[in-house]
Amino acid sequence: MTVSSPLISVVAPIFNEGAGVARFVRRLTEVLTGAGLAYELVLVDDGSTDNSWQHVVEQATMDKRVRGLQLSRNFGKEAAVLAGLEHAAGEAVVVIDSDLQHPPDVIPEMVRRWREGAQVVEAVKRNRTGQGLIGRLGGRLFNRAFTGLTQVDLVDATDFRLLGRPALEALLRLPEHSSFFRGTSSWIGFRRSTIEIDIDEREGGRTRWTFRSLFRLAVNGLTSFTSAPLHLVTMVGLAFAGFAVLLGAQTLIRWIGGDSVAGFPTVILLLLVMGTFLLLGLGVIGEYLARIHEEVRGRPRYLVQETADGFAETTVPEQWARAER
Lowest mean pLDDT of 5-9, 68-72, 118-122, 231-235, name the range: 231-235
Between the CA atoms of 7, 10, 11 and 17, what dihedral angle is there, to the nearest 10 degrees? Answer: -140
Checking if the pLDDT of 199 tops 80, the result is no
Q: What pLDDT score does 162 carry? A: 92
Instruction: Give me the percent of the chain exceeding a pLDDT of 90.
Output: 11
pLDDT at position 9 is 92
**DSSP 8-state secondary structure symbol assigned to residue 201:** P
What average pLDDT does this structure show over 74-96? 88
Most confident stretch, 151-155, 199-203, 317-321: 199-203
Q: What is the mean pLDDT of the chain?
A: 75
- CATH, domain 8-208+299-320, list 1.20.120.1200, 3.90.550.10, 2.40.50.140, 3.20.20.70: 3.90.550.10
Confidence tier at 2 by pLDDT (50, 70, 90): very low
pLDDT category, 137, cuts 50, 70, 90? Answer: low
pLDDT value, residue 300: 76
Q: Looking at per-residue confidence, does 177 or 265 come out higher?
A: 177
- H helix intervals, the chain: 20-34, 52-62, 77-87, 107-115, 133-150, 165-172, 181-187, 211-225, 228-256, 264-297, 318-324
Q: What mean pLDDT do residues 164-192 have?
A: 82
Choose between 9 and 5: higher pLDDT: 9
**Tens-place pLDDT, residues 259-287:** 655 655 666 666 767 777 777 777 777 77
> Residue 301: its pLDDT value, please?
77
How far, in Å, CA of 42 to CA of 87, rounded? 8
pLDDT at 10: 93
Mean pLDDT of 241-248: 69
With a CB cutoff of 8 Å and minimum separation 6, the contacts of 299 are 177
Report percent pLDDT > 70 for the chain: 61
pLDDT of res. 278: 76
- Looking at residue 11, its pLDDT comes to 92
Domain boundaries, the chain: 8-208+299-320, 228-297
Is 177 exposed, middle or buried (CB count within 10 Å of its CB: 0-12, 13-18, 19+)?
Answer: middle
* CA–CA distance, 137 with 222 (Å, rounded to integer): 17
pLDDT-based confidence at residue 195 (cuts at 50, 70, 90): confident
Q: What's the pLDDT band for 44 if we cut at 50, 70, 90?
A: very high
Look at residue 309 in the predicted model and tell me its pLDDT: 78
- Write phi, then psi, for 45 (nearest 5 degrees): -80, 110
Confidence of residue 93 (pLDDT cuts 50, 70, 90): very high
* Other residues' Cβ atoms within 10 Å of the Cβ of residue 255: 11
CB 64, CB 138: distance < 8 Å = no
Q: What is the pLDDT of residues 284-323, one digit of tens each?
A: 777 777 767 666 666 677 888 888 875 644 444 444 343 3
pLDDT value, residue 293: 64
